[in-house]
Chain A
Amino acid sequence: MSAPSASPSPRLTRCLLLALLLGPAVAHAAGWDIDQLMRALAQIRSDHARFVEKKTIAMLDRPVESSGELFYSAPDHLEKRTIKPKPETMILDHGTLVIARGRQRRELQLQDYPELAAFIDSIRATLAGDRKALERSYRLSLEGTAEHWTLQLLPLAEQAVVKQIRIAGAGDAVRSIAITQADGDSSLMLIEPLAAP
C-alpha cells in the first residue's frame, strides 16, 4: 500500500537476499531435472557411507534398528555391511547377491527374487544414475532443488511388494532412502557420507 517508489519492495529484497545466500545454486535450479540429477550421480565412481536403518514392521511392537556401512563402486557393486545388531554383509555384484551371516553364506541371483530386487536394485540404479534401469520398474518424479532434492519412485507393476520409494539427497549425495511396502511396513535409511576408502 505504500508508494512503490520509496524503497525496494520487500518481495524483491527477499529475492535478492536469497540470490545472495544461495549463490550459483539458483542458476542451477533453473534447469534442474531428473537427467541432471542422474548425470550428477553418475559422476560418482565410488562412495563410502555410514547408515542407520529403522524398519517398522506391523508384526513387531517397535521398529527394529540396524546400522553399519555402505560401499559403492560404479556402476554395479554395492555392499551393505550391517554391524549392529548382528554382523551381516550383503554384496550386490553384477546381479549376484551374496548375503553372509555368521558362517552362513547365501548366494542368489537378484532376478530370481523380485521382492529383493525391488529394494536393492532401485538403490543401486539411483546411485549409478541409471535412469533407464529405474524407468523399467518405476515412474520417477523429482521435487526440490539441487541442494535438497527428493526423488520419488512409484512402481509400474500393479502387484509390486513396494508401494513407494523416496530417495532424498543434496547435490550428488544420497542422504536417505524411505521405502513403504504394500503391506504397510516401512523402512527409513539415513546415510551419512564418510571419506571414500
Chain B
Amino acid sequence: MTAVRVRRGPTAIILWLAFILACGVVVSRSQFTADLSAFLPKSPTPAQRLLLEQIRDGLASRLILVGIEGADAPTRAGLSRQIARRLRAESAFVSVDNGEPVNSERDRAYLFDHRYLLSPAVTPARFSADGLHAALADSIDLLASPGGLLMKSLLPRDPTGEMVKLLEQQEGGSRPKMVDGAWASKDGQRALLLLQTRASGADTDAQQAAMTAIRQAFAAAAAASPAATPAATLVMTGPGVFSVTSRETIKDQVGRLSIISVVLIATLLLLVYRSFSALALGFLPVISGALAGIAAVSLGFGEVHGITLGFGTALIGEAVDYSIYLFVQSERGGPDQQDWVARFWPTVRLGMLTSIAGFASLLLSGFPGLAQLGLYSMAGLVAAAAVTRFVLPHLLPANFRIHDVSAIGRVLSRLVRRAASLRWPAALLLLAACAVLFMHRADLWNDKISSLSPVSPADVALDARLRADLGAPDVRYLVVVSGADRESVLRASERVSAILQNEVDQGELAGFESPSRYLPSIATQRARQASLPAHAVLAARLAQAVRGLPVHARLFAPFLADVAAARHQPLLRAADLEHTSMAMALSALLIQRHGRWSALLPLTAARGVAIDADRMRAALRTMGTNGSKGANATIGPPDVLFVDMKAESDRLYSGYLHEAILLSLGGLAAIIALLLAVFRQPTRVARIIAPLAAAVVTVTAGLAVLGQQLIILHLVGLLLVVAVGSNYALFFDRVAPTEHGISPRTLASILFANLTTVAGFGLLAFSKVAILQAMGATVAPGVVLALIYAAIFARQADE
C-alpha cells in the first residue's frame, strides 16, 4: 500500500475511519432477532395490542409440543417419562406434561378442599331439603352406574357430588390417550409431551436454550435405554420453536447468500477491472454502507432483524455501483477522479437522493420490519455514496488504472442506438402487462399474514399434527375480558362463562377455559359460602331429604362437618393455587399489564363444528344488557371482546399492507417532486420516470402471470427497482443534446452496475425464506427491465 497517495483530504479519511470504528462498536453490541413479530404492526388499538402481546408472549407462545417417534410403544413411553423427569427439574419449564399423574394429588386436594367455593352448583336452592333430596338421588343413581365406583368413597363427605362436577369441568378438554403410562397420539405411533416454558415465545435465545435442554434430555434418556436407541427420534414444534428455526434458517441463508453474492460480484468486477486493488477499493463503500446501515437500525430500533441483514446482502450489489461509476467513468489516469466528481457526481448524487426519497416513505410504516429496511437502505446508500465521493478518490494509488472497457462500451453504444426501434414492441408489452394487472386486480395482493411466515410447510404440517394429537388449544378464538381490577374481570368472566356454557350445552362449542373456574371472584365465593346453611339447619334438612332414599342421614356426618368448616373457610386467593397444575393455567388466563387486568377465555371448537363467530358475538352482546342490570354496576362493565386471532391479525396485516402501498405511492410522489425541483421540466421528469414505471408494471404483471401473489416485501422490491433504476434513467438523461448519445464508458459502467445488482438480488430469488425470495424475484428482473426500458425510451441524439 506504499503506492497510496494521500493528496488532499486526510480529514476525510480520518473522519471516515472514526465513523467506521463507531459503527463497528454499535454493530458489535447489536441485538439480532428473527421472530415474525417485527413484521407485525406495532401501534394498534388496546385490544389489538393485547392480541399482539398474546402472539408475542402469551400462553400459546410458550408452548413446546414434543413428539417421540420410532422404536416401540413401551420404549417411547419410557423415554417420555425420563425426559419429563429431567425437564421437571429445570427451571426453564413451568410445566412438563406427559399424562403422568404428577400434580394430580395436589390438584385433587385443591378441588376437594375448596369444592364449596369452586363449584358452580353451590346455590341456596341446592341446600334446601328438596335440593338435597334431588342431589342425593342423583348421587345414588351414579353409584349404580359404571362410573359410580370411582365416587363411592366420596359419598359420605360429598353427597351432593360437587367434586364430580369439578372433575367433569377439568376433564372438559380432550386429552391424549395413555399408552404404557404416557401420552400417545391417536394412532399410538408417537409419544407426546406438552411443555410450557418460563420465557416468552418472543425470547428466541431462551427458546433456543429450552430446545437444547429438551434435546439433551432426549439424548440422555435414549443413552440410558440402549434397546431401541437408534430407532427413536425427537420432534418439536410450537411458536418458540418456529422462532428458533426461522432464525437459524435466516441466519444460514443470509450467511450463505452473502458469501455467494460477494464472490459472484467480486468475480464480475475482477473480470471487468483486472485489478485486485481496484476490487478491494471498490468494496470499501459497500462495507461502509453495510456497517452504517446495521448501526443505524440498531440505534433506531434497539435490535436488528435477520431479514434486514438478508436485505443488506442484496444491497451489496447496489452499493458497489457507486465505485463502479467512479472507476469506469473516470478517464484513465490519476487527476481524472476530480474530473469525475465534477462531471458525474451530481448525477450519482441525484440518483442517490431519489433512492432516499423512495425509502424515506418506509420509515413512516407501522411495520417495524419495513421501517428497518427503509432506515437500513437510507443509511447504507448515503454512507456508500459519501465514501465513494469523499474518501475513495484520496485512496486511489497514483498509477491506479483498470482494464480498458471502451470496447464493451462501443458495442453497447451500437445496441443503444438501435434500441429506439424497439419502442413499439416495448409499448405493446407494456400494454399487455397493464391488461394482465387489470385482470388480476382483485387477487394481486396476498393479505394473509401467514404469507410472511418463514416457516416451511413441512414444519407447519408437523405442528398441525402434534396439535391435533395433543388436543392443544390452537387459541384461534378467544373471549377477552379486560377491566380495572382483578375482581371485576373475574366477575365478568363468570358471566361470560355462563353464556359459553350455554353454547357448550347446545353443541356449538366443545369447551372453553376461564380463569374464574380456578379462582372465582370474591363476590361469587361469598355468595357460595352464603348458600351453605348452618349446621343445625343443614342437619334438619338432610334428615328430611333422605326420606324415600335408601340411605341413612347419619352416613353423612362427614358432610355436615365439611359444610360447617366451609362456611368459615378463608376465601380463595391466587396464592392458594401454588404447586397445582392450575396455577399455570391461571397465570396464563389472568394477566395484569399496564395497570389493567385481562382475562382470556380460549374456546375449543366441537369436533367437526366450526366456531360461528357471529353467533358467539351475538350471544356475548346479550351479556352487556343483562350484565348492567346485575347487582353491582358501580364499577362499570369491563370490556368483553370476542377475538378471532387469525382473522384479526390478517385484518391488521391487510390494513398495514394498504398503508404500505400508500406510503410507496408517497415515495414515488417524493421522487417526482425531487426531480421536478431539480430539473423544473415536467417532460424531462416524465421521460426519467417512464422507464421506471414501465419496469414496475412489467415486473408486477410477470409475477401475477407466474401466480405469485404480492406481499409487502414485493412492494419494497418495487421501490428498490425505482430507486436503482432512477440512476440508469438519470445517466441516459444527462446526455447533452449536442453529444453523440450516451458515452460508451458510461454505458459500460451502467451495465456493470446493473449486473452486480442482478447478482445480489438474483440470489435472493432462490432463498427459501419467502420474504427474501419476494424481494429477489422483484428486484432482479425489475432492474434489468428498468435498464432496457431506459435505453429504449432514452432521448436520441438526433431527436
Contacts and interface: CB of A to CB of B under 8 A. Distances in A.
A and B from one complex: yes
Interface of A: 53, 55, 57, 59-62, 64-66, 80, 82, 85-86, 88, 90, 95-96, 99, 101, 103-104, 106-107, 109, 111-113, 115-116, 119-120, 161, 185
Q: Decide if the interface of chain B is mainly helix, strand, loop or mixed.
A: mixed
Given A104-B168, A107-B174, A109-B178, A59 B156 contact: yes
B149 A115 contact: yes
B149 A99 contact: no
Residue of B143, B144, B156 most packed against chain A (CB within 10 A): B144
A179 B146 CA distance: 13
A57 B143 contact: yes
B147 interface: yes
B155 interface: yes
B470 to A, nearest CB: 15
Interface string B128-141: 00000000000011
9 contacts: A59-B555, A60-B140, A61-B551, A64-B141, A66-B145, A86-B141, A90-B145, A101-B145, A109-B178
A85 B144 contact: yes
B146 A111 contact: no
A94 to B, nearest CB: 9
B149 A119 contact: yes
Contacts of B150: 113, 115-116
Nearest to B546: A61
B550 A85 contact: no
Nearest to B505: A103
Contacts of A106: 147, 168, 171
The 7 lowest CB-CB distance pairs between A and B, nearest first, are A64-B144, A61-B550, A60-B550, A109-B178, A62-B550, A90-B146, A86-B141
Contacts of A61: 550-552
Contacts, number: 69
Contacts of B149: 115-116, 119, 161
Contact of B152 (A57, A80, A85, A99): A57
A66 B178 CA distance: 31
B143 A96 contact: no
Contacts of B152: 57, 59, 185
A55 B177 contact: no
Contact of A80 (B146, B174, B177): B146
A36 to B, nearest CB: 30
Contacts of B177: 95-96, 109
Contact of A59 (B146, B147, B155, B175): B155
B144 A55 contact: yes
Given A60-B551, A113-B150, A116-B150, A85 B155 contact: no
Residue of B146, B155, B175, B550 most packed against chain A (CB within 10 A): B146
Q: How large is the interface on B (under 10, 10 to 19, 20 to 34, 35 or more residues)?
A: 20 to 34
Contacts of A119: 146, 149
Contacts of A65: 144
B146 to A, nearest CB: 5
A114 B574 CA distance: 34
Nearest to B148: A55
Contact of A112 (B142, B178, B505, B552): B178
A66 to B, nearest CB: 5
Interface string B548-568: 001110010000000000000
A93 B133 CA distance: 35
Contacts of B171: 106
Residue of B145, B174, B505, B555 most packed against chain A (CB within 10 A): B145
A103 B511 CA distance: 13
B160 to A, nearest CB: 15
Contacts of A95: 177
Given A59-B555, A96-B177, A111-B178, A86 B168 contact: no
B506 to A, nearest CB: 10
Nearest to A112: B178
Nearest to A86: B141
A82 B552 contact: no
Interface string B191-224: 0000000000000000000000000000000000
Nearest to B153: A183
Given A59-B555, A60-B551, A109-B178, A99 B156 contact: no
B146 A64 contact: no
Contacts of A104: 168
A139 B206 CA distance: 54
A66 B144 contact: yes
B146 A116 contact: yes
Residue of A53, A57, A59, A60 most packed against chain B (CB within 10 A): A59
Residue of B142, B178, B505 most packed against chain A (CB within 10 A): B178
A71 B174 CA distance: 26
A185 B145 CA distance: 14
A88 B551 CA distance: 22
A86 B178 contact: no
Contacts of A90: 145-147
A90 B147 CA distance: 9
Contacts of A80: 146
A38 B177 CA distance: 30
Nearest to B178: A109
Nearest to B183: A109
A85 B555 CA distance: 23
